[in-house]
């Protein structure tokens, strides 16, 4: 049953779909997948084209709109929007430490989660399209970050379902292994660190002081998590957003208070760090992160904790060595490390499951190079020149490999440009698709 609600300027309708866990066995186990339909108030009965939104991630639920906010304001001028909670997230059948425990041991959990990648998400979307629009009507798709990866998979698996495709910060390398991804990523993260310290030179010593304290005595976070020096470095995830550097600086400003025994890390800092580092709201982001790059024709040996292995090739990220030499301590970026399954209470029960997924070597390919080379769906993509999360060189190589794909390359926005640009990024892409720019 669908439920409608009204918020300022919009009408939303809830949809819940029973879909196969394994699309190769459609009569087998079923899961629920939730999606929220959003239309501009007053246009509920209009015959509008549909726009499917694929959220970044993996493991990220769709945004919860409070009205005509962010990019949605621009989209609702022309579309009826469907915000998909990708399988395992949000109001879809959840996949967390609590729910996965019901499936049995780590082996059973890993086998279950093997069905939560982009190929399954796309097949979910196709069944949803058929049920909402009928068999013949197509829709448009907007893919942000990992949602862009899914869009490329959509163009590979089911292009006949699409009228057009918009991609923001999500042109993945079609033949890039996890090792390739991280070998290219670490130098980009170095540059983001350099940019941060150029903006806030006082943070060099502030970070060194915190790192030295944690190297000697890891702190306990309010949820029972452990803040080690490596976990502290993981705050560098913030440096990939337009306002991330400033937000990190403000967090560091309030790191210390005078306690009964002298200086200690403040509750303000510890709660702030916990909010950035905990995977309680999105554990699949950590559990499945490296598997989004797994393709049996590319990565025959599995991903095997690639970010951790490749990090050893970049000794400048060794915080303890930096403390000894007087060098700035560098933050890391969008990397998932095996030790996170020891320090984060939301991940600890999933440690063995994550190890099994990291060792898996039979991931199906996600992209069809021949079909993409013959693509007939109009595709436009925003490529952020200074994107910390997605390699620009990979994006441009992929753009050349997809027939007819047009790119807008910009350094005006960072990876979160779709969300923070007030609709400007999406407006540009829509006008590109229409041949107006």
Torsion of Cα atoms, 42 then 44 then 47 then 48, to 10°: 80
- Residue 353 shares a structural domain with residue 383: no
pLDDT, one tens digit per residue, over 331-389 is: 999 999 999 999 999 999 999 999 999 999 999 999 999 999 999 999 999 999 989 99
Separation between Cα atoms, residue 210 and residue 204, nearest integer Å: 10
Both 116 and 61 in one domain: the answer is: yes
Catalytic residue among 120, 145, 176, 421: 145
**Active site residue: 213, 391, 415, 421, which one?**
415
Same domain, 211 and 348: yes
Q: Are residues 124 and 223 in the same domain?
A: no
Alpha carbon distance 139, 282 (integer Å): 28
Are 213 and 265 within 8 A, CB to CB? yes
- Percentage above 90 pLDDT, the chain: 97
Q: Specify whether 146 is located in the same domain as 10.
A: yes
In this structure, the answer to whether residues 292 and 157 fall within a common structural domain is no
pLDDT of residue 92: 97
Position 379 scores a pLDDT of: 98
Question: Are residue 209 and residue 338 in the same domain, yes or no?
Answer: yes
415 part of the active site: yes
Q: Are residues 398 and 425 in the same domain?
A: yes
Active site residue 145: yes
- Mark whether 70 and 153 lie in a shared domain: yes
Q: Do both 196 and 137 map to the same domain?
A: no
**The pLDDT of residue 271:** 98
pLDDT score for 299: 82
Point out the residues of the chain with pLDDT beneath 50.
none
CB-count burial class (<10 Å; 0-12, 13-18, 19+) for 88: buried
Among 359, 391, 406, give the residue marking a domain's end.
359
235 within 8 A of 273, measured Cβ to Cβ: yes
How many CA atoms does the CB half-sphere of 216 hold within 13 Å? 7
Please check whether residues 291 and 414 belong to one and the same domain. Answer: no
Q: Residue 13: what are its φ and ψ, rounded to 5°?
A: -135, 130
Q: What was the pLDDT predicted at 160? A: 97
Q: How many domains does the chain have?
A: 2
Domain boundary among 335, 359, 383: 359
Question: Of 295, 329, 359, which closes a domain?
Answer: 359
Q: Do both 317 and 425 map to the same domain?
A: no
The CATH number for 44's domain is 3.40.50.1820
* pTM (two decimals): 0.96
Tokens linked to 295: 């393709």
Task: Identify the pLDDT of residue 301.
Answer: 85
Whether 143 contacts 167, CB under 8 Å: yes
Q: Which of 46, 136, 261, 362 is catalytic?
A: 362
Q: What is the pLDDT of residue 1?
A: 53
Q: Burial level of 284, CB count in 10 A (0-12/13-18/19+)?
A: buried
Range of the domain at 340: 178-359
Identify which of 306, 308, 309, 145 has the alpha carbon closest to the alpha carbon of residue 230: 308
């Amino acid at each position: 049953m669908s439920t409608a609600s009204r918020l300022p300027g919009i009408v939303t309708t809830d949809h819940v779909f029973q879909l196969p866990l394994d699309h190769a066995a459609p009569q087998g186990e079923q899961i629920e997948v939730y999606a929220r339909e959003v239309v501009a108030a007053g246009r509920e009965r209009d015959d509008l084209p549909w726009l499917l939104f694929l959220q970044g991630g993996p493991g990220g639920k769709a945004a919860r709109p409070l009205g005509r906010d962010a990019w949605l304001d621009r989209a609702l001028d022309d579309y009826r929007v469907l915000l998909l909670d990708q399988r395992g997230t949000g109001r879809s059948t959840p996949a967390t430490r609590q729910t996965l425990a019901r499936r049995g041991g780590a082996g059973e959990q890993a086998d279950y989660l093997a069905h939560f990648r982009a190929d399954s998400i796309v097949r979910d979307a196709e069944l949803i399209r058929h049920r909402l629009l009928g068999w013949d009507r197509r829709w448009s798709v907007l893919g942000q970050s990992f949602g862009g990866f899914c869009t490329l998979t959509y163009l590979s698996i089911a292009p006949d379902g699409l009228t057009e495709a918009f991609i923001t910060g999500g042109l993945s390398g079609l033949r890039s292994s996890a090792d390739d991804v991280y070998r290219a990523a670490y130098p980009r993260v170095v540059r983001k660190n350099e940019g941060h310290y150029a903006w806030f030179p006082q943070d060099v010593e502030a970070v060194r002081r915190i790192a030295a304290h944690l190297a000697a005595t890891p702190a306990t976070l309010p949820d029972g998590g452990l803040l080690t020096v490596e976990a502290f470095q993981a705050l560098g995830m913030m440096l990939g957003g337009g306002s991330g550097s400033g937000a990190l600086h403000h967090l560091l400003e309030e790191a210390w208070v005078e306690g009964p025994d002298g200086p200690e890390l403040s509750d303000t800092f510890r709660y702030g760090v916990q909010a950035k580092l905990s995977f309680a709201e999105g554990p699949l982001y950590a559990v499945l992160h490296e598997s989004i790059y797994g393709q049996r024709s590319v990565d025959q040996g599995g991903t095997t904790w690639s970010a951790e292995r490749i990090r050893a090739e970049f000794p400048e990220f060794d915080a303890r060595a930096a403390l000894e030499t007087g060098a700035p301590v560098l933050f890391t970026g969008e990397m998932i490390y095996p030790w996170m399954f020891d320090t984060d209470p939301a991940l600890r029960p999933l440690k063995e499951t994550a190890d099994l997924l990291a060792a898996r070597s039979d991931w199906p390919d996600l992209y069809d190079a021949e079909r993409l080379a013959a693509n007939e769906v109009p595709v436009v993509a925003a490529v952020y020149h200074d994107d910390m999360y997605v390699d620009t060189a990979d994006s441009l190589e992929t753009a050349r490999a997809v027939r007819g794909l047009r790119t807008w390359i910009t350094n005006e926005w960072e990876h979160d440009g779709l969300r923070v640009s007030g609709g400007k990024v999406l407006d540009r892409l829509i006008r590109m698709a229409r041949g107006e720019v």
